[in-house]
Amino acid sequence: MNMDITQSTMIELRDAIAAKQVTAHEVTEAYLQRIAALNDSLGAYTQVFAERALQRADEVDAGKVTGALAGVPIAIKDNLCTTFGRTTCSSKILEKFESPYDATAVRRLEAAGAVILGKTNLDEFAMGSSTENSAFAPTRNPWDTTRVPGGSSGGSAAAVAAGLCAAALGSDTGGSIRQPAALCGIVGLKPTYGLVSRLGLVAYASSLDQIGPMTRSVSDAALLLDVIAGHDPLDSTSADDDARGEGVDYLDTLGQPVDKLRIGLAKQYISDANDPQVNAAIDAAVAQLREFGAEIVEVDLPHTEYGIATYYIVATAEASSNLARFDGVHYGHRTDKPEDLIDLYAASRAEGFGDEVKRRIMLGTYTLSSGYYDAYYLRALKVRRLIKQDFDQAFTQCDAILCPPTTHPAFAFGDKTDNPLAMYLNDVYTVNCNLAGIPGLAIPAGFADVDDHRLPIGLQLLGPTFSEARLFQIAAALIGDQPAPLADYRLPG
Amino acid sequence: MSHQLTEAEVRHVAKLSRLKLTDEQVHNFTTQLGNVLEYIDKLSELDVENVEPMAHPTSMTNKLREDVVTEALPIDKVLHNAPASDPPYFKVPKVLGDGPSA
């Protein structure tokens, strides 16, 4: 064996295992060793299934398990239900929860032969942009451990960026895949709403949530999407298989020229408030796309600035309803000595939920409550329509929109924890994609210099619904298929 | 719609949300949620008079399936995570009267 396993992409590993240049057992073992060495200081995983993973790898080596991902080690965000280990959502209320079923996306991964290494940390119930809201421990950014990895899929992003897995699944309600992907320097896709089944994704905001791939290369993301996408009769909002286009294979468009494509730039996303290095990355990508012969067109998304307000009404309203199921009766934490049934609910929930989850439940309850429904919730649904119409209009003029996923590189721990509104404003370039239901792809765009540190920055591509193949095509033109560099993270001292 | 959120309102919303809050939490949440509400008031700048509300990104309507019995989770699996159960039931404190707590 003469390959550096944990430096490899998912597809390289898959091919090397298939060609018997390396065994699935060796691959899994290499990742488990790296996890043992680095995870304590990074906090990417909250659970590691070493024994089960090696057993699965042995089944691949014995030829009992085959498929498009045979032997590939993958990490799963811990808001995806698994019948092995626990499904905690990084919340005390679900600390001991053992799911009676597997999420469809997890089932599809395993059916394709993937080896699941463990479950990754997140902001409690996926509510947050820094992973600081985990009830267990923070996850550190492997490029600078004094900074956050982004969130809420911060554990998955850190695990991919530090070489603690070949790829990971995350979930994205308002940017929770793309923002941590950008801050950790990897590839992350929020698919079109409905493309991936949400069955077994613990619901935060059901009209916004999507599961998606987090990887080191564009082709890895394309393959992972190919495996997890598809209609699921158990998720009635999942799209019919023909919605993605007859016979579309997400790997097919990679390497195809982009000279016939029109790329949109929206002034609302290229603000002076951005870090200049973020805007410079856009300028460089525009120059590159022009060189390839793509046409650059200006588009207008006039309601962009209303996205955050709309999102935090819609998402919290849905959350207040979704999280009503945590009642201390059916599953999850129950308080010790309730005075009566109402107190059992209120005390169990008070003890089990962290402050950010409480704030969002209350905000959603407030905006849905009598007297405020029309002023807040109904109005937000109407603005949501205006935001969607902005995109519909823009996509008559261009094939995809190029924009930053974040205004700045990773911020330091504690920077925004006392000020929830400041944390919310961080999602300015990601939430509108979820509100409109369109796909968004974050890709690495090099590094910014911040206080003597090299911090990753990203680019984001937004496209019409079910245009994932085209987004991958443009991404591959921009960054090729070189895997994103692993964080040069070493054990402290 | 601008209006200063009060601690009494926060206590009321906490009650509706079935969340038992400490006085300190009520105090902090009043400020924090007040700031958020002030911010989201931004939406009142827009004229949305003739705009159709959008509750969902897909245009699909009801999806029907054949009315056939399919596999359901067995009761022992469903009760496996219950804090208190008496199969095939979940157990809760007595709802009426002054019975003992579960």
Catalytic residue among A152, A153, A219, A467: A152
In chain A, what are the domain boundaries?
A: 1-493
Contact: B65, A233; criterion CB under 8 Å: yes
The per-residue pLDDT of chain A, averaged, comes to 95
Whether A273 shows a pLDDT value over 60: the answer reads yes
Give me the residue from A334, A369, A383 closest to B48, CB to CB: A383
To the nearest whole Å, the CA of A53 is away from the closest chain B CA by: 24
Model pLDDT for residues A153-192, shown as the tens digit of each residue: 999 999 999 999 999 999 999 999 999 999 999 999 999 9
Contact: B54, A312; criterion CB under 8 Å: no
Nearest CA in chain B to A99: B81
CATH 3.90.1300.10 fits A1-493, yes or no: yes
Contact: B20, A384; criterion CB under 8 Å: no
Those of residues 457-486 in A touching chain B at CB distance below 8 A are 465
Q: Which residue has the higher pLDDT, A487 or B98?
A: A487
Q: Is A418 exposed, middle or buried (0-12, 13-18, 19+ CB in 10 A)?
A: exposed
Question: Is A176 an annotated catalytic residue?
Answer: yes
What is the arithmetic mean of pLDDT over A54-72?
98
CA–CA gap between residue A417 and residue A424 (Å, rounded):
11
Question: Is A90 an annotated catalytic residue?
Answer: no
* A241 close contact with B: CB closer than 8 A: no
* B69 close contact with A: CB closer than 8 A: no
Those of residues 315-354 in A touching chain B at CB distance below 8 A are 320, 324, 327-334, 337-347, 349-350, 353
B90 sits in which H/E element:
strand B89-90
Band the pLDDT of A423: cuts 50, 70, 90.
confident
Model pLDDT for residues B3-47, shown as the tens digit of each residue: 689 999 999 999 999 999 999 999 999 999 999 999 999 999 999
Question: Is A77 an annotated catalytic residue?
Answer: yes
CA–CA gap between residue B32 and residue B10 (Å, rounded):
11
Q: How much is the pLDDT for A130?
A: 96
To the nearest whole Å, the CA of A345 is away from the closest chain B CA by: 6
Q: List chain A residues with CB under 8 Å of B10.
A: 362
Model pLDDT for residues A433-450, shown as the tens digit of each residue: 999 999 999 999 999 999
Contact: A421, B32; criterion CB under 8 Å: yes
Give me the residue from B29, B43, B65 closest to A362, CB to CB: B29
Whether A492 shows a pLDDT value over 70: the answer reads no
To the nearest whole Å, the CA of A152 is away from the closest chain B CA by: 20
Whether A23 shows a pLDDT value over 70: the answer reads yes
Q: List chain B residues with CB under 8 Å of A242.
A: none
Q: Which domains does chain B have, with CATH numbers?
A: 7-45 (1.10.20)
What is the arithmetic mean of pLDDT over A365-369?
96
Q: How much is the pLDDT for B63?
A: 80
Band the pLDDT of A224: cuts 50, 70, 90.
very high
Give me the percent of chain A exceeding a pLDDT of 70: 99
Q: List chain A residues with CB under 8 Å of B37.
A: 363, 366
What is the arithmetic mean of pLDDT over A363-385?
95
Could you tell me if A407 and A273 are in contact, meaning their C-beta atoms sit under 8 angstroms apart? yes
The 3-state secondary structure of B20-89 reads: CCCHHHHHHHHHHHHHHHHHHHHHHHCCCCCCCCCCCCCCCCCCCCCCCCCCCCCHHHHHCCCCCEECCE
Which of A39-48, A111-120, A278-287, A413-422 has the lowest average pLDDT? A413-422
Could you tell me if A198 and A169 are in contact, meaning their C-beta atoms sit under 8 angstroms apart? no
Model pLDDT for residues A275-332, shown as the tens digit of each residue: 999 999 999 999 999 999 999 999 999 999 999 999 999 999 999 999 999 999 999 9
Catalytic residue among A176, A238, A320, A348: A176
Chain A / chain B CB contacts < 8 angstroms: 171
